[in-house]
Amino acid sequence: MVDKIHAHHFCGPLQSACEGFIAEKRSLGYTYDSEAKKLSEFSRFSLAYNVPTNVLTKELVQEWIARRPTDSDRNQYARYSLISQLARYMNRVGYSAYVPERTEIGKLHKTFVPYIFTHEEIHAFFKAADSLTHKTFSIAPRRHLIMPVLFRMLYCCGLRVSEAIMLKGEDVDLSTGVLTIRDSKFGKTRYVPMSPELTSICTEYAQTRLVGKAPNDWFFAAPDGGHYDTRSIYSVFRELLWDAGISHGGRGKGPRLHDFRHTFCVHCLQQWISQGKDLTTALPLLTTYMGHNDFSATEQYLRMTAEVYPEISQLMQEQYGYIVKGKETCEE
């Protein structure tokens, strides 16, 4: 992770505040490299405004988060989110800073519609995956051994595809059934427990996997000894969708590989709600398990659950309406 962190120069009246904020985030284990780069840009932006040292004024904040001609919703939201965090940090350490309201950047518009697999589709997909056979002249002769396990990790653990393909042998502890996810999307390492069933499947697979030399001992080794890339996994994914009778809506419409992650979360929430579990105590656990940066990324799955399973929509509104506050979401 360290080799991914770059030194970024800060300047202007907010130099020390930016440096302190980034230092705090990194001390908590976040890489915060792209964020530091963006704050470096912000510090140069602040030079055009007459602001006192270590004071984040309302004018400066609003100019920074204002909509730009080339902005997408997500670009504008990213600037808003980062400056909000900086402002809260500054207030916490005794500086004066204006914290913008979420409403100041308008509504976010959904740019995608997640595909939530039904339980029947999940069964059909893994039946197709388990039906893969060894092909003598294939360029990937171990594909039939790897793919059923890898796809189960995506669905059963809610992993990002990049996290699964980057697993090393040492990251899969078969004695405890725990995965170590290193340097994930937000630069933090997290530990992901597997179910006993998945641990057993991984143990059986481990007896046949190609073991490489450190540091390149990939748990899912490609034929060339490296790790699989996302395109190769997606190609098999599309093949298995066809075999399982699950239609694909075309480019950008899904199902996508990432929809296994969405489906894991929604199915998990569905089960909890059906069991009458208290989401106020369960959701923080899910946020940590998924590797989300904060609760807002997990919150969207509450809405998805209510939308996909109408029979529990009323229960969601009655008991957890105070958690689900709106319909503005960004893809995580």
Q: What pLDDT was estimated at residue 7? A: 80
Between residues 273 and 115, the one the model is more confident about: 115
- Say if CB 13 and CB 46 are below 8 A apart: yes
**Region of poorest pLDDT, from 76-80, 184-188, 251-255:** 184-188
173 membership: H or E segment, kind and range: strand 172-173
| pLDDT over 90 at 297, yes or no | no
Q: How confident is the model at residue 132 (pLDDT cuts 50, 70, 90)?
A: very high
SS3 97: strand
| pLDDT over 80 at 331, yes or no | no
pLDDT digits (tens, 9 = 90+) for 189-198: 889 999 999 9
Q: What pLDDT was estimated at residue 186? A: 61
Q: How confident is the model at residue 211 (pLDDT cuts 50, 70, 90)?
A: confident
Q: What pLDDT was estimated at residue 278? A: 78
Averaged confidence pLDDT in the chain: 83
Which of 131-140, 185-194, 234-243, 261-270 has the largest mean confidence?
234-243
Helices (H) and strands (E) in the chain, counts: 13, 5
- Say if CB 47 and CB 11 are below 8 A apart: yes
**Burial (CB count <10 Å: 0-12, 13-18, 19+), residue 101:** exposed
Q: What pLDDT was estimated at residue 314? A: 53
pLDDT digits (tens, 9 = 90+) for 44-77: 999 999 999 999 999 999 999 999 888 888 889 8
| pLDDT over 70 at 23, yes or no | yes
Q: Cα Rg for the chain, rounded, in angstroms?
A: 23
Rounded to two decimals, the pTM is 0.65
Q: What mean pLDDT is predicted for residues 77-99? A: 94
Q: How confident is the model at residue 248 (pLDDT cuts 50, 70, 90)?
A: confident
SS3 96: strand
Q: What mean pLDDT is predicted for residues 238-243? A: 95
Cβ-defined contacts of 175-182 (< 8 Å, 24+) = 179/153, 181/291, 182/1
